[in-house]
């Protein structure tokens, strides 16, 4: 493909170099026929890898039947997908969106409406975390804890303050009678792969219960089995009030959702929120099929079995290379903090047929399709050994 031609017509928000043409299992193939092992899964999206036959067939069948009708009507795929999400998440009701950022927007609106219903003068304050990432739309950006993402686009929505992740006291200090929600990731992704401490999560749940604040967990990246549980909060035995999901929810078809417990969900009434595409039959056919394949293939068990091997091999790699400062993460969401710029390693990996992604300046984020096997982890480590020399 003519890259110059493509660059000419695209707004330059990304620095791209490779043109992918197709994929199979754990591998992507570029337009020159070169094969790449994919340990990034299109940013934690393609949990089933590429070209899964059952998934493709479900989409083809749905395309033949019905793609879109709008949210003015019921469809069978939407009802089915909503039930799967509630059963898997422990939430009571779902609203479908087209992306992660939109799921966050909806969650924030729901929290504000819940507070407004209790007190029309509520300032609807929201506590978010430093180093968090919740998306690029104005609302999602307002709760994203990276200043250089936010600053050029200010003024954003008001009433947002930032606490330190894993520091319960720093959250408590920010709580006021106007606090309507606390929003955080179950495991910080973009911000550099920082897992939550169980006591922090449990403490937040208690705090929210005491003050009737809604606890919003952003499971867009760490959800859908990536950490070994369907949703990361399930490691801590807590139930949030609102959960956002996207990325691997549709495994490639753009779809997101926010789900809520009944007491919160009931705050949204007809006319309060909407979307034209959200949860259309094609997107929802993908969601249902993803849940079915997870079950059939016992993907959560597979993550539990394979993730310790990934961790072990990364720790071995660290022993051999002094430029690796730390390995941290949970399940198949691992971060490798480097003493050198991550972008350089990502570029060298590409040259060597390995797709990696970074999370911030210094962290390589390893978020492979959940179907990854030992042989792929070995292949990645061999390539990394060569590059890190």
Ligand X SMILES: *Cc1c(COP(=O)(O)O)cnc(C)c1O
Please count the residues of this chain forming the interface with ligand X, following the rule CB under 6 A.
15
Query: For the chain, what is the total number of helices (H) and then of strands (E)?
Result: 14, 17
* Closest CB to ligand X among residues 219, 241: 219
Nearer of residues 137 and 170 to ligand X, judged by Cβ: 137
- Please report whether residue 289 would count as binding ligand X according to CB under 6 A: no
Which residue is associated with the tokens 């909503």?
82
Among 52, 75, 99, 166, binds ligand X (CB under 6 A): 99
| Residue numbers 246-265 binding ligand X by CB under 6 A | 246-247
Q: Are strands 357-358 and 363-366 parallel, antiparallel or unpaired?
A: antiparallel
> Which of 233, 207, 211, 214 has the alpha carbon at shortest distance from 222?
233
Binding region for ligand X (CB under 6 A) out of 7-15, 131-139, 277-285, 358-366: 131-139
CB of 190 to ligand X, least distance (A): 6
Q: Which residue is nearest to ligand X (CB)?
A: 100
CB of 357 to ligand X, least distance (A): 11
CA distance 46 to 198: 28
CB 254 within 8 A of CB 99: yes
Shortest Cβ distance from residue 226 to ligand X (Å)? 10
311 touches ligand X (CB under 6 A): no
Are the CB atoms for 371 and 49 separated by under 8 Å? yes
- Which residues make beta-bridge pairs with 336? 327, 364
Q: Which residues inside 178-237 make contact with ligand X, applying CB under 6 A?
A: 185, 189-190, 218, 220-221
User: What six digits make up the tokens of 9?
Assistant: 């017509």
- Only segment of 96-104, 120-128, 162-170, 296-304 that touches ligand X (CB under 6 A): 96-104
Q: What is the largest CA-CA distance in the chain?
A: 61
Query: Is residue 100 involved in binding ligand X (CB under 6 A)?
Result: yes
Q: Minimum Å distance from CB 137 to ligand X? A: 7
Handedness of CA 5, 6, 9, 11 (dihedral sign): negative
Rg (CA), the chain: 21
| Minimum distance of ligand X from residue 255's CB (angstroms) | 9
Q: What is the smallest separation between the CB atom of 222 and ligand X, expressed in angstroms? A: 7
Q: Does 101 bind ligand X (CB under 6 A)?
A: yes
Strand ranges across the sheet with 363-366: 324-330, 333-338, 363-366, 357-358
Binding site for ligand X (CB under 6 A): 99-101, 104, 133-135, 185, 189-190, 218, 220-221, 246-247
């Amino acid at each position: 493909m003519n890259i110059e031609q493509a660059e000419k017509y695209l707004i330059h928000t990304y620095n791209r170099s490779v043109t992918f043409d197709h994929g199979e299992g754990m591998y992507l193939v570029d337009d020159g026929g070169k094969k790449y092992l994919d340990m990034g899964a299109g940013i934690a999206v393609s949990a089933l890898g590429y070209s899964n036959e059952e998934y493709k067939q479900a989409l083809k069948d749905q395309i033949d039947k019905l793609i879109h009708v709008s949210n003015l009507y019921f469809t069978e795929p939407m009802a089915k997908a909503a039930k799967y999400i509630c059963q898997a998440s422990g939430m009571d009701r779902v609203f479908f969106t087209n992306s992660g950022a939109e799921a966050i927007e909806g969650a924030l609106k729901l929290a504000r409406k819940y507070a407004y219903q209790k007190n029309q003068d509520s300032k609807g304050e929201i506590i978010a975390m430093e180093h968090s990432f919740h998306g690029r739309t104005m609302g999602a950006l307002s709760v994203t804890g990276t200043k250089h993402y936010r600053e050029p686009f200010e003024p954003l929505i008001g009433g947002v303050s930032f606490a330190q992740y894993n520091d319960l006291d720093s959250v408590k200090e920010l709580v006021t009678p106007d606090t309507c929600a606390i929003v955080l990731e179950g495991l910080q992704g973009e911000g550099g792969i920082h897992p939550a401490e169980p006591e922090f999560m449990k403490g937040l749940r208690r705090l929210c219960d005491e003050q009737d604040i809604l606890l919003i967990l952003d499971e867009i990246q760490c959800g859908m089995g990536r950490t070994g549980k369907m949703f990361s909060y399930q490691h801590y035995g807590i139930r949030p009030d609102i959960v956002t999901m996207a990325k691997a929810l549709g495994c490639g078809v753009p779809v997101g959702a926010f789900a809520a417990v009944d007491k919160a969900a009931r705050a949204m009434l007809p006319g309060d929120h909407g979307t034209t595409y959200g949860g259309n039959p094609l997107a929802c056919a993908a969601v249902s099929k993803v849940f079915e394949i997870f079950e059939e293939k016992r993907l959560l068990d597979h993550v539990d079995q394979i993730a310790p091997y990934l961790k072990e091999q990364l720790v071995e790699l660290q022993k051999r290379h002094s430029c690796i400062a730390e390995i941290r993460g949970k399940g198949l969401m691992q971060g490798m903090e480097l003493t050198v710029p991550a972008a350089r390693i990502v570029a060298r990996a590409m040259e060597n047929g390995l797709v990696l992604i970074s999370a911030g300046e210094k962290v390589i984020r390893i978020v492979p399709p959940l179907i990854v096997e030992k042989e792929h982890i070995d292949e990645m480590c061999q390539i990394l050994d060569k590059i890190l020399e």
